Structure 1
Amino acid sequence: MKVVCAPEKLLPVVLDENTEYFSLYTIPANKKIGHIAQDWRVRLKKMGLYPDVVTWDFVTIAMSICAADLACLRKKSADGWTREIEINITVCNKANWIQHINKLQDAFRFLTGDFWEITLNDGGDPPLEPVSITTSSADCISLLSGGMDSLIGAIDLTEAGRSPCFVSQMAKGDSKKQSEFSAAFNSKVRHYQWNHRIKVPHTTERSTRGRSLIFISYGVLAATVLNKNRPIELFIPENGFISLNIPLNEGRFGSLSTKTTHPVFLSIIQDIFNAAGMQISIKRPYQGYTKGEMIKNCKNQSILLKHIGNTTSCGRFGYYNYQHCGRCVPCLVRRAAFLSAGIVDTTVKDYYFDDIGKLESAREKGANDIGAVARACLLYRSNGINDVIGGSLAFSSNSAEGRQFYADVVENGLTELESLLVKHGVL
């Protein structure tokens, strides 16, 4: 599978029918060509954002990878899932990135489960020259998705006396609550909400794994308005159980389990930042906590209880008309967290499948996450945590935290889930 991402002026007039083409930052005249973030340079100018070339090119690479992830259909690959993607990206200064190509390919390989071959070319449209530079009083960047974890992260940073600049990736059903949360915690500092506006000229791949890469690139972009006398801290609030996303059965290994905030992926991205001279320090403060523990340890319970019901966790939120399905893994983890924390589940609109003990909850078409979670809980109960983990924590032998740190998170997360399943009579 081949993909080319370049300014429209550099794209060929005669298109190869076996190649996906994307115009960077403009809508092309040829409707067979996709486009990425039209008017991006103008939009940033209106916000007073003038990123340096290294940051600009990193964002371009991130958006291009996400476009390819959307455009290349897994069903057309040899095994129906794993893709081999050759992507050609036009940047402003490829010399800044050529030496880091292997690390970029490793990161994307881990994130999406595909084989990536990246070629970079010079000739990209540069960021606009500064007219009047915007500065921020913020002292860090925090990703704000509209989910429960990012809400708790926002509360804890604010309660600790920090002044975070919140960055959001716009999503239907979440954008309004992102604004509400930001205004509630740090209204004096600008909240950036961005949309990549990637347009694929045909049916898109639904199993996208590259979304988090763009989200991180937005954080890097926002950091350009902060004081650069020291590394800018980029907080990614995500509970450790979901971050690790241990496969719950034999069918969920590899890229079938998402790795958007997995410590291996974030470690590679941090290495890339360091090697490229980008003054960004990724922080994952909740890697050792379950979602239930995050709720219990939140630094301002009254504010949390006011907003927690309006957060989004569901992996199929749009499919159920922006209502939590109640039975996907993120929903089950959410429900288990409320139960573990001992607070009333105030989720707006309740759950589409409210009683997960009913057969119809598990039998309706779609992935049977209830069964997968139940199986993992039973395996843990009978054989111990090591049989559930398998080789999923092999990376931890080289980590600063160590294997036991990560094993404890998985064990605590399964304990929370088991209590939920017992309550509903599944176990």
Structure 2
Amino acid sequence: MSKMKTWFDVHRLRLSHAVLPAAVLATGLAGIAPAVAQSFSFSVMASGTYDKAAADLAPAFEAKTGVKTTVAAFPWAILRQNNITDVLTGTNQYQVMSGGFYLVDIYPHFVPLAEMIKADNLADGMIPGLMDPGRSEYFNGQQIGFPYGTDVYGVMVNDEMLKTAGVTGEFKTWADFVAACPTIEAALPDVACFSHPTGSPEQISAFFTGAYDGTYIKGGKYELDTTKAVEVGKLIAELWKHLPKQGNAMSFDEANAAFRDGKAAMLVTWPSFANKFLDEDTSPLKGKWHQVSFPGPGYPQLSQWQLFMVDTAPDKAVAWDWIKTFAGPENAAANYKKYGIGSPWKALYDDPELKAAHTHDWPAKLADLPRAQNPVLSGEALDFLNNTLQDVANGRVSAEDGIASINQAWANFPVPATLLEVAGSVGAVAAE
């Protein structure tokens, strides 16, 4: 096979198409002497959650610091591209970036945060384990990412529909889940088994990591266990047969609405993108659904949004002030109540009023959290997996051919040392 262009080679060529930051928010009165930096820019995903929280916080941050503040919000794929190209080309638009493990190849450009975390005692009160490698991001043994948006991939069920179908909703494996679909659809002829944001291609990997219990690395290279991976590919192709009609290109909002409006008996998605919507007073599903434990035998994906401080930030004190203000415990309750942002802070889940209001979803989320993980894949490896699984799910290639093409392509993708170390610690490396 000829040498392939890397993901970064391709995306460097797209710099001319990068989206510029959002307009600078109005400047407030300076609460303290102006910092060295005359402006501050934060890149974040446009989702109506994280970006909205940041935009609402920005005026108060400007008033406190005297620093003109920009919130640059982009859809996930563009955010990832813009963060990477901003560093690789030395454009240096953003001082703090929101991201995750898929930014691994620019980790050397992020500032270690341990001393700042310790100085502000900012680890106290965090849910145990969320600051560990594999959940928070590290480079050369140094913590470089600080968590702020914690979510675990979930399965939500319509209580009345599953009762009518005689299905408990407790699925030990994804094979159990797909086996229940014909029963549900026979009992409810006008209802699909489940909905899912299929129009976002990267979301399909949640089914793969949930159903696959094999390794991802062998002999220092990315490689799937062929037999196990093919079985999961076949299972995903079967699952796709039980989506709503024309349901293989649904947005997050469309998938949520299909479940809320009774067109699907279950919903598989990130809970933070759905739960507030499902629990609105106008929702016909309010009080009639609950979240169940994510099926195995693999693991539920962890959405552990991190804040990274870029080493070119002109005033690192201002950058750190934004991180601890936006992601600190003081804003946790507001971020959850107003925007639905899952919190890494234990106190939120111990709040008696909130706890009583979330008996239908928090128990499953908190039970799944200890086994949730990030994929141990670089951005280019994850892209290829997602794109190929889309072909398998939609019947364009067989599971056998799809997995073979993944392993063939993956042989050319380097495994970043940071991810290799994490992979070893979570059992994702095949024994030699």
Which of the five TM-score ranges fits, normalised by the shorter chain? 0.3 to 0.5
Give TM-score scaled by structure 2 length.
Answer: 0.32
Give TM-score scaled by structure 1 length.
Answer: 0.33
